[in-house]
Structure 1
Amino acid sequence: MNKQLAVFLSLISFIVVFVSCNDAPSKDKVGILMGRAKVLVDETIAPIVEDQLNVFQSSYTNTELTMVSMPENQVINYLLRDSAQIAVTSRALTEQEIEFFKKKKIYPKMVKFATDAIAVITHKNNTDSTITVDEIVRLMKGNDIAGVRTMVFDNSNSSTVDYFRQLAGVEKLPEQGVYAMKTSADILRYVNENPQSVGVIGVNWIVQPPNDLIDYVNNVKLMGVRNQKGKPGDDAYYKPTQTNLALNLYPFTRTLYCINVQGKKAVGMGFSAFLHGERGQRLILKAGLLPDSIPSREIIIRK
């Protein structure tokens, strides 16, 4: 993040803290910490964003943010169609997308706030608990690997599908062996019912699952992944822990962004600042992701 943006976010964060101590007049008014808005969210990271929105709204009661989760390709399309003006995604806008908004005199604000991991899971009773990047590439190209019958994604328009298609250099999923479900919850149910399958899912669904999915999560396990030769993490099998994310040892990571195209000083600015501020970053830590800025800790030494 450049210095100018860092200063801007610090200023907004100060305003966020200051206003939290004072009652804002109404949700119907527009401001950094007041007003209503729809927030489009990549479904693969929905649990952590839902937590952030709940804490933000409970702290700033004159805001009302409605979360709508969907595959990331749809999120971007809705932004471009002006169906919403705030989004949380696993990628930044492309140059072409930025130019689209600039032609409308709107200058997108993109705030990086976390590093996410794409987890590979299998049934807890599966004797195999490791997989290599090369094996996943083979699956994506329609080839078989020992011990794995199927690999499942959440949705054909998902950011995780895009990630692995680019990794394998393929344009679409193979006709056999790799399938797209509809949601991340469907992945958990499928892996529960098919012990020799692997699922590709955002790690926050495993660390902080919704209450109705806890039993499913308890029946799966994270697989250790070994990277391709010559890349970080090629010496062993690594799981998507915060330490491994920080050391760049886990291969399947992506940056999370809050994108604001409101084009004015409105609640999108306040929410972006909250995500990148200390409280938002602590929630990121709790969710098992890597914060963009590590929250400080006070250590009290008693004599």
Structure 2
Amino acid sequence: MVYLASCKSEKSRIEEQPDAPGKGTITISADESFKPIVDELVKVYESNNYGTKINVQYKPEADCIKDLWNDSIRMIISTIALTNGESRKLSDSLKVSVDQLPVARDAIAVIRHPGAKETEFDMNDIKAILAGTYSQSLIPVFDGVKATSSVRFIVDSVMKGAKLTNRAVAAQTSDSVINYVAKNPDAIGFVGVSWIGNPNDDQQSSFLKKVKICRLKSTDSTGNYILPVQANLYGRLYPMTRDLTYIVKEKYRGLGTGFAQLMATEIGQLIFKRAYLMPGRRYYVIRPIQLNEDSI
């Protein structure tokens, strides 16, 4: 009888909550750089949980971080990870449980006009381009007029305090960067690889016809110039690699927790894989192989 009473109490408690993993509506914030993949994740979650609705506000990463202190936003998706101190402060201030996890590995792709001849760079070249001291007068173009994750990575991890050239252009969105580069031979764009990495996506396939993806010098000792493909992201061989992380803040096990769990499950990881990001919650073994052209 005690067991049945406790089960009934638990069931009643869940029913009284405004949302749960299988019901309700929530609003989350996501960095605009990851719109294609987040849209797909939401589509799959809602189709598997008919009583749910996840409203996504796409914003620059800096605004997503501000939303951590907004009671109406239950979750953010970006490349930011909280320190233990920041997580405790957020939890104590809002009286919520804070959970975060890196779920995939992304990269910043460098793109150029399809007619551009120079499409291989090392990181010294990239820094010189961004500073305006490169041998060619190229125009850097970023995704967003405010601090997106791509801009923050460029400023913090590439420039490291050095000043950006005054010629740098901030386009409104990632697809605006692609269109700008497609029309300007002297432009060089920086966008999340999830916007152009999937040749099986109709929109991204159309983007790949407009621009050319550049190769960057590998971080290992080979000196090879490589593309931001999954195998190169896995070992961080591609130099502009970053992790995609979710941060959930809830007072109970709600819809935000359910959506976060999807990202870490096999279904969510498969969605990342098909979007040509590197799944972050699975282990892989990369083996060198040699193809014999005569046998192909």
Q: Do the two structures share a fold, i.e. TM-score over 0.5?
A: yes
Query: 1:121 and 1:234, CA in 2 relative to 1: closer, same or farther beyond 3 A?
Result: farther
Task: Determine the C-alpha separation between the residues in 1 that align with 2:92 and 2:86.
Answer: 10
CA distance in 2, matches of 1:262, 1:279: 23
Cα distance, 1:244–1:233 mapped onto 2, change above 3 Å: farther
In the superposition, the TM-score normalised over structure 2's length comes to: 0.83
Confirm or deny that 1:168 pairs with 2:155: no
The change in CA–CA distance for 1:34 and 1:95 in structure 2 (over 3 A counts) is same
Which residue number in structure 1 is paired with residue 266 of structure 2?
278
Within-5 A mapping of 1:118-197 = 118-146=108-136, 149-155=138-144, 156-166=146-156, 167-170=158-161, 173-176=164-167, 178-197=168-187
Alignment correspondent of 2:237: 249
Structure 2 residue matching 1:136: 3-state secondary structure: helix
Query: Is this contact kept in 2: 1:37–1:66, CA < 8 A?
Result: yes
Instruction: Work out whether residues 91 and 254 of structure 1, in 8 Å CA contact, stay in contact via their aligned partners in 2.
Output: no
Alignment of 1:164-243 (within 5 A): 164-166=154-156, 167-170=158-161, 173-176=164-167, 178-208=168-198, 214-227=205-218, 231-232=219-220, 235-243=223-231
**Structure 2 letter corresponding to 1:174:** T
Using the TM superposition, give the Cα deviation of residue 286 of structure 1 relative to its aligned residue in structure 2, in angstroms: 0.3
Which residue among 1, 11, 26 is the counterpart of 1:37? Answer: 26
Task: Report the alpha carbon displacement of residue 132 of structure 1 after superposing the two structures with TM.
Answer: 1.4
TM-score (norm 1): 0.81
Q: Who wins on radius of gyration, i.e. which is larger?
A: 2
Q: Secondary structure at the match of 1:37?
A: strand
Quote the offset at 1:157 in angstroms.
Answer: 1.0
Unaligned runs of 5+ in 2: 1-13, 285-296
Deviates more, 1:78-87 or 1:34-43: 78-87
**In the alignment, residue 175 of structure 1 is paired with which amino acid?**
N
Distance 1:254 1:100 in 2: 25
| Cα drift, residue 100 of structure 1 | 3.2
Superposed displacement of residue 211, structure 1: 5.4
Total equivalences in the alignment: 267
Q: Tell me the CA shift for residue 191 of structure 1.
A: 0.4
2:91 to 81, 102, 105: 102
